[in-house]
Amino acid sequence: MAPQKGKTGTRGQKQILEENSATLKFYRNMIIAVSAIYVVFNLVFENVLSLTSIFIYALIIASHAGSYQFMSYMANAKYTESGQLLDSGTDLNMEGGLAEHTKDLIILTSGCQLLSMISNYFWFLWLLAPGRAFWILWKNFLGPYLAQKSADEPPEISEKKQKKLERRQKRQQNVRH
């Protein structure tokens, strides 16, 4: 199929609702599958009662549960009293949206979970999440705020324009005298 040119078509509320439901189901199944594999592996091969294992698994549960509940809240549909769809909620598949970052966190956590079965050093990959959050914060808020010019500062003028202004000021002074 050839790629479409121009503006992409808009999707209806019903289609967004169906896609949100499918997205939530996919990430729920991913979380359950990865967590089941992780728990079974740790029961068979490692000491699951160590304080470190319990702490890390509590962080995993908090990350997965928080991310999934946040996406579920965003996709919460609103209906009228007669049962008609009023609002399908936020589109979870929208590019550049907050749901995209939440899905990335679920994927990162799941990847760390699976890779940690090879070595516990893979948990350091989880530090990519705050790093990415800082990068997004810098790119969208801090960088533009710190880079903007103060209203008190005059705008920078090129050397050519500066010489032209000086010549004009000299001519005006010579005409006055």
pLDDT value of position 29? 97
In a domain, 176, yes or no: no
pLDDT at 149: 66
Encoded amino acid at 131, one letter: G
Q: Where are the alpha helices (DSSP H) in the chain?
A: 13-45, 51-74, 98-115, 128-137, 143-147, 159-176
The pLDDT, as a whole number, for residue 108 is 95
Q: What is the pLDDT of residues 74-85, one digit of tens each?
A: 988 888 888 777
What local confidence, expressed as pLDDT, does residue 32 receive? 96
**Do the domain assignments include residue 165?**
no
Q: In 10 A of CB 146, how many CB atoms? A: 8
**pLDDT recorded at residue 1:** 43
pLDDT under 70 in the chain at which residues? 1-11, 47-48, 149-156, 176-177
Residue 43 lies in a domain: yes
Within 13 Å of residue 8, how many CA atoms lie on the same side as its CB?
5
Q: How far apart are CA 61 and CA 118, in angstroms?
A: 20
Output the pLDDT for position 103.
93
Q: Residue 177: its pLDDT value, please?
A: 64
Is residue 147 included in any domain, yes or no? no
Residue 61 resides in a domain: yes
In a domain, 7, yes or no: no
Domain range for residue 124?
13-130
Domain count, the chain: 1
Q: Is the pTM of this model over 0.75?
A: no
In a domain, 22, yes or no: yes
Domain contains 90? yes
pLDDT of residue 11: 67
